[in-house]
Amino acid sequence: MTTLDARGLSCPEPVIMIQKAMKTKEASYVMMVDNHASKENVTRFAEKAGYTVTIKENGGEYTLEMRK
């Protein structure tokens, strides 16, 4: 499982990060983001790539767990 920290970054940077990471074709990834737009855009990208996304919110930060 690869963990990516995209807190403090605005789109499209988090989407580019997960896109590059998914080239390894792992079964799961975790990404931390701290804004709504990144949460929505990364979720949409991962779902289009065939991953199921679970989102946990903690004080305005989001942890996205992506699994195939």
For the residues 6-20, what does the mean pLDDT come to?
97
Please state, in angstroms and rounded to a whole number, the distance separating the CA atoms of residues 7 and 24: 22
pTM of the model: 0.95
CATH number, domain containing residue 17: 3.30.110.40
Exposure string for 43-62, b = 16+ CB within 10 A, e = fewer:
bebbeeeebebeeeeeeeeb
Report the number of distinct structural domains present in the chain. 1
Instruction: Print the domain residue range for 49.
Output: 2-67
- List pLDDT tens digits, range 17-42: 999 999 999 999 999 999 999 999 99
